[in-house]
Structure 1
Amino acid sequence: MTPLLLSSWRDVPRAARGTTLALGNFDGMHRGHLAVLRTAHAARPDLPLAALTFEPHPREHFRPDDPPFRLTLLPAKAQALQEAGCSAVFAIPFDDELAAMEAEAFVEQVLWRGVGAKHLSCGGDFAFGHRRGGDVAVLKRLAEARGIGVSTAPIISDEGGPISSTRIRRLLQDGYPDRAARALGHSWEIRGTVVHGDKLGRVLGWPTANLWLGRHLEPARGVYAVTVVLADGSEVKGVANVGRRPTLGGDPETRLEVHLFDFSADLYGQEVGVRLHCFMRADAKFAGLEELKAAIAADAAAARVLLA
């Protein structure tokens, strides 16, 4: 069942009220986020599970000129929250009004009167309200005064320390999608619409599906072994390059080019997800098209072995 995706805390339909509500940005939907959801459900298993997140991410609101950094955009995030058991997802607009709202007003107007939450769950570092004036202790005091319970999720750690979206972004930027996948609990995916390129890959004998990164984080530039999730849910293995094509003079914007193995259907205009599994080599400038063609062939052969 598709969850209710609500973009306002006002006039909330009855079906989405009275939930046990997980709070957070949920960027990447990593193992720590799942702990927040599990904590919410465990506290009140008698209630429907819902999540409240912010769109855009508060960092995008306060620092709009920063490079894109998102691990997960809203449609993919809502899908992941649904798969984790949420019957409703509140994607509250993070605008000037919300940024200026004091912590008590947020609990009173948004969580209690607006959403009508019966129980709340969050991570131990959750902060909210104007200038992040509210922390977990403040949330408990304000919520419990209104008859709303609050649970704090345990910190989830691995051999690299506490799992966080910030740490996962750094792993991807450093070229470690395999380590990022272990922290996420799933492979990192860039989801986007296949666009027309200059058809050079077809000329070289290696046709590619091209995607712009958009608001996604830019991972380390280079070649990856990947799987591509098609619109019908099927998966195809392939090899991808994240970069600006230095051999061809350079592009002003980073693109994701994917060659799908043993696949020939037209994907233009379709939304696909590209899952990065293994970083194979850094982006490189070659002496000419023949050298580039040979490198692509070697990359494809190596990716087939890695994905076998």
Structure 2
Amino acid sequence: MTISLHTNWRDIPAAAHGCAAALGNFDGVHLGHAHLLRSVFAARPDLPPAVVTFEPHPRELFRPQDPPFRLTLCTERLEALRALGVRHVFQIGFDRAFSELTAEQFVDDVLHNALHLRHVGCGPDFAFGHRRGGHVGFLAERTHQLGMGFTAVQALADEGGPFSSSRIRRLLQDGYPSEAAGELGRPWCIRGVVQHGDKRGRLLGFPTANIPLGRHLEPARGVYAVTIRLPDGRSHIGVANIGRRPTINDGQQSRLEAHLFDFEGDLYGQELSVCLHTLLREEKRFDGLDALKNQITLDAALARQALGAAPSSH
């Protein structure tokens, strides 16, 4: 199913008018988000299913000093929404001017007059407008006055409480990617463009694709069993390190270095998705490159085992 991304809310094509849209940031597109989407779209199954979201995340604008926290950036979020049946994504550029809109202006000028939505829905914590002045009750009242449908959706919860992006962030930071995957409905992936490194992995016999974390959340530092999706759709299993490489002590910021098993080819400049499955060990410093190479060999064997793959023949 195709999905259309609209990034200029003031100029929406007529073909995208008349949708039923779920409202939110949708960082991670987790099981709670999937529940919200199903609930909103079930209320009006005759309308094209859509999402209204924001870029950057408001927290990135208002608290730029915070460490990166994003679970999904635009491309990964779009793919996850497409997999859930969304046809249109209205991705609003969130800047200072937009943040000054009142709650009433957001509903009237954006949702009603610009996006031409016929039905909207949100979770219980959705707040909008200048200084988060709008809430679910106001949205229900104002959409009714404008002749728009509205669905208030209760948060999906389990014994640990509501599913949330912050809960998933904690799981990843604590080193539990498989548990995070259970709440996302899929493995958590870091997507980025492969950059040139110092070629040290190649010297160790394990060439790596180096991907900066950028605006992604930094999970627990260490070595992971991973799968890597290539731009052509193929997947490879592998092993990846996330951290600051204390043995080499290059003083650089944390990054992801992924070694693809049984792969030969040039990946520089290509955009990969590296999906974390199991944390094999925490980051540690080794006494020299020989000890590091021996550990990487062991890590690779453990990753193959964790991923259910046959051991390497070489």
TM-score (norm. length: structure 2) = 0.96
Structure 2 residue 255 is the aligned partner of structure 1 residue 224: no
Aligned counterpart, 2:126: 126
Does structure 2 conserve the Cα–Cα contact (< 8 Å) formed by 1:230 and 1:273?
yes
Residue in 2 that maps onto 1:241:
241
Q: Secondary structure at the match of 2:269?
A: coil
1:13 corresponds to which residue? 13
User: Who is 1:105 aligned against?
Assistant: 105
Amino acid in the other structure paired with 1:70? R
Aligned equivalents of 2:261, 2:223: Cα separation in 1: 15
- 1:297 and 2:297 correspond: yes
Taking the TM superposition and a 5 Å limit, the aligned residue runs for 1:148-297 are 148-297=148-297
Paired residue type of 1:222: G
Distance in 1, matches of 2:96 and 2:292, equals 49
Distance 1:103 1:22 in 2: 17
Equivalent residue letter for 1:46: D
For 1:119, the aligned partner's letter is H
Secondary structure in 1 matching 2:42: helix
Structure 1, residues 133-152: CA drift from partner, whole Å, max 9, x if none? 11111100011110111112
Q: Distance in 1 between matches of 2:41 and 2:64?
A: 35
RMSD: 1.0
| CA deviation after TM superposition for structure 1 residue 159, in Å | 3.8
Distance of 2:36 and 2:8 partners within structure 1: 22
- SS of residue matched to 1:191: strand
| SS of residue in 1 equivalent to 2:227 | strand
Q: Secondary structure at the match of 2:232?
A: coil
Shift of 1:252: 2.1
Query: How do residues 9-88 of structure 1 correspond to structure 2 at under 5 angstroms?
Result: 9-88=9-88
Structure 2: runs of 5+ lacking an equivalent? 309-314
CA–CA separation in structure 2 for the residues paired with 1:11 and 1:208: 43
Q: How far apart are residue 11 of structure 1 and its match?
A: 2.1
CA distance in 1, matches of 2:202, 2:56: 37
| Partner amino acid, structure 2, of 1:116 | H
Deviations for 1:44-101, whole angstroms, at most 9, x for unmatched residues? 0000011110000000010112111100001111122122112211110111122111
Q: Which amino acid aligns with 1:68?
A: P
Shift of 1:268: 1.1
State the alpha-carbon separation in 2 of the partners of residues 11 and 193 from structure 1: 31
Alignment-mate amino acid for residue 55 of structure 2: E
Q: d(CA) in 2 for partners of 1:252 and 1:204?
A: 20
Amino acid aligned to 2:140: K
One-letter amino acid of the counterpart of residue 148, structure 1 = M
Percent pairwise identity: 57
> Matched residue of 1:28: which SS?
coil
Measure how far apart 1:250 and its partner are: 3.2
Within 2, Cα distance between the matches of 1:146 and 1:234? 48
Please state how far the C-alpha of 1:251 moved relative to its aligned partner: 3.0
2 CA distance for matches of 1:185 and 1:79?
Answer: 13
How far apart are the structure 1 equivalents of 2:96 and 2:265? 45
Query: Matches of 2:291 and 2:133 in 1, distance apart?
Result: 57
* 2-structure distance, mates of 1:187, 1:302: 19
Consecutive unaligned residues of structure 1, counting only runs of 5 or more, are: none
> In the alignment, what sits opposite 1:93?
93
CA shift for structure 1 position 128: 0.7
**Counterparts of 1:233 and 1:28 in 2: how far apart (Å)?**
21
Query: Deviation above 4 Å: which 4+ runs of structure 1?
Result: none
SS at match of 2:2: coil
Displacement of 1:7 = 1.1
Residues 167-201 of structure 1 show CA distances to partners (whole Å, capped at 9, x for unaligned) of: 11111111111111111111000001111111111
* TM-score (norm: length of structure 1): 0.98
Distance 1:250 1:223 in 2: 18
Q: Structure 1: how far apart are the matches of 2:209 and 2:52?
A: 34
